[in-house]
Amino acid sequence: MRHIKRLIITSGEPAGIGPDLVIQLAQHSHPDELVVACDPELLIQRAKQLDLPLSIERFDPSAEPSPSLARTIKVLPVELRTPVNAGALNSKNAHYVLEMLTLATQGCLDGVFDALVTAPIHKGVINDAGIPFTGHTEFLEALTKTDKVVMMLATEGLKVALATTHLPLRSVPDALTQDLIGEILTTLNTDLVNVFGIEAPHILVAGLNPHAGENGHMGREEIDVIQPVLTALRNQGLHLTGPLPADTLFTPKYLDQCDAVLAMYHDQGLPVLKFKGFGNAVNITLGMPIIRTSVDHGTALDLAGTGQANTSSLKLAIQYAGDMARHKTKSIHESS
């Protein structure tokens, strides 16, 4: 079992705070090996702008993983398509961003890296380049050839997974099928066991409608769609509670006794989590053959190059990635 994990960090939108964050974090040592996918010249340029010392080493995949040294970044080089000014988006670098993600993901699939950590990207500028793009999660789902991934955010004391992600609210009820909810819950339960090391996880499931439908008087999705799935999965041994009204689910009475929550749509669960831990939360993609974590914030173009970017979320994403990789290795080792 390899104790030191090798994590690949994609530095995100080059005009945003992604390069700043990795440079700021690199001022300190780390027990795992952190490799950054980026144009080395961008890191050198941004480090000068931040007035921070930085040494660049080219990543050597043939070497044994070793802890990261302070003020040093190991780089998986990816060449920018055009020079970057901090804070100024340029759609010519859209392909650069996607190349970073592709190389890093393939490295994880090939076993070169133990986990992927992603700094924030800017969806709009990628679409401006004429590339259809809805987000990291969907892009990685396609790259890894995964049928259905699960988006989960985590902060201290709370994990929230989503049954649907980036959909207009009017589309959510039609998207919620028994097959979808069953698949999401199965994946969530499996990864809570295998990559979080939680034995027999307890999952709370939110209803869709106010008061969880109030016995069908405010909608029948709970009766016709959600409850039958929960009954079937309980018969398979899953520990599930719900469907519960979302306005009372997120209270200590319930949360103190659970390991994760499944919300039916994006703005049902994430406002609560971000109120509790914004800046100290991590975005996790479950169900893929690789481990992927990310920050809980955007590119913050106005902060790029200023030295004011907060590293807390990226630091936590790296911590989660390393811990999840260790749990996964342990789980595989114990089952073999």
Give the residue numbers of the binding site.
136-137, 166, 211, 266, 274, 283, 292
CA 154 to chain centre: 9
- Residues at the binding site for a divalent metal cation are 166, 211, 266
Closest-CA residue to 164 (of 155, 243, 121, 173): 173
Helix, strand, coil percentages for the chain (3-state, nearest 5)? 40, 20, 40
Rounded to whole angstroms, how far apart are CA atoms 67 and 4? Answer: 7
Distance CA 293, CA 9 (A): 10
Rg (CA), the chain: 20
d(CA 308, CA 304): 8
Q: For residues 261 and 255, give the distance between their C-alpha atoms in angstroms, rounded to a whole number.
A: 8
Q: What is the rounded distance in angstroms from the CA atom of residue 5 to the CA atom of residue 334?
A: 18
Would you call 123 helix, strand, or coil by DSSP? helix
Residue 313, H or E segment: helix 312-335
Q: Which residues are documented as binding site for substrate?
A: 136-137, 274, 283, 292
